[in-house]
Amino acid sequence: MLLIQCPACGVEAEETEFAAGGEAHIVRPGPGCTDAEWASYLFDRKNPRGVHYERWRHAFGCGKWFHMARHTHTLEVFGVYAADVLDPPQEIKDRIAERTAP
């Protein structure tokens, strides 16, 4: 069971205190998009063996959504960051590069 730190309230807690929200940084297309774009937004998800950016909510805590960069196999957590960004912060990308370097 993962140990997760909520970036909103700072609490480090067990996974059961959080709710997973699937892949992060999915862009919701506008009303004028094609059927294919809409279907992709609804259904296409990555399933990597490796680094995964994902959404989590501190459901039984402060209630805030946030992002987490995690390795799906080693379960290493590279960092957590705010929900209201469109891309992972540079420092998290740097850490991933450092930790996953061959």
Partner 1 sequence: MTRLANGGALIDRDTPVSFTFDGKQFRGVKGDTLASAMLANGVKLVNRSYKYHRPRGVVTSGPEEPNGLVNLGSGNRHEPNIRMTQIELFDGLEATSQNRYPSLRNDVGVLNAAASRLYPAGFYYKTFIHPRHAWKYLFEPMIRRIAGLGRAPTEADPDTYEHQYAFCDTLIAGGGASGLLAARRAGEAGGRVMLVEQTERLGGRLLVDDDAEIDGKPAREWVAEQVAALEAMENVTIRLRTCCSAAYDHGYALLYERRTDHTMPTGPRHRLWRVRTKQIIGATGMIERPIPFYGNDFPGVMLASAVRDYVKLWGVAPGQTTVLYTTNDDGYRTALALHEAGCKVAAILDSRADPAGLLVEQAKTAGITVHPSTGIGKTEGTKDGVTAIHTVPLGKGDDVALGEKIDCDCVAMAGGWSPVVHLYSHSGGKVMWDAGRAMYRPDPDNPPRDSSGEAYVRMVGGATGALTTQDVLTSAAGNGEGVSVHGPAEQPTASVWFTPSHGKAALGGKHFLDYQNDVTVADIRLAAREGFESVEHAKRYTTLGMATDQGKLSNINGHAILADTLGKAMPEVGTTTFRPPYTPISMGSIAGQQKGSLFKPFRQTALHEWHAEQGAEFEPVGDWRRPYRYQKGGEGRETSITREIRRVREKVGLLDASTLGKLIVRGPDAGKFLDLMYTNMMSTLKPGKCRYGLMCDDNGFLMDDGVVARLDEQTFLCHTTSGGSDRVHAWMEEWLQTEWFDLKVLTANVTEQWSQFAVAGPNARALLDRLEGDVDFAALPFMGFADGTLGGMPVRVFRISFSGELSYELATPTAFAVSLWELLLGSGDDLGVGPYGTEALHVLRAEKGFIVIGDETDGTVTPHDVGMSWAVSKKKEDFLGKRAMERPDLTRKGRKQLVGLLTEDPNFVLPDGAHALSADGTRAIGHVTSTYHSPTIKRSIAMALIEGGMDRMGEVLEIGIDRKTTVKAVIASPVFYDKDGARQNV
Kindly state whether residue 76 participates in binding partner 1, applying the rule CB under 8 A. Answer: yes
What is the DSSP-derived secondary structure letter of residue 15?
G
Among 23, 61, 64, 72, which residue interacts with partner 1 (rule: CB under 8 A)? Answer: 64
Kindly state whether residue 61 participates in binding partner 1, applying the rule CB under 8 A. Answer: no
Kindly state whether residue 102 participates in binding partner 1, applying the rule CB under 8 A. Answer: no
Kindly state whether residue 84 participates in binding partner 1, applying the rule CB under 8 A. Answer: yes
Residues forming beta bridges with residue 5, ordered by sequence position: 12
What distances in angstroms separate CA 73 from CA 11, 49, 50, 51, 57, one per listed residue?
A: 24, 6, 6, 9, 21
Backbone angles phi, psi at 16, to 5 degrees: -65, -15
Please say which residue, 4 or 92, places its beta carbon nearer to partner 1: 4
Min CB(47)–partner 1 separation in Å: 19
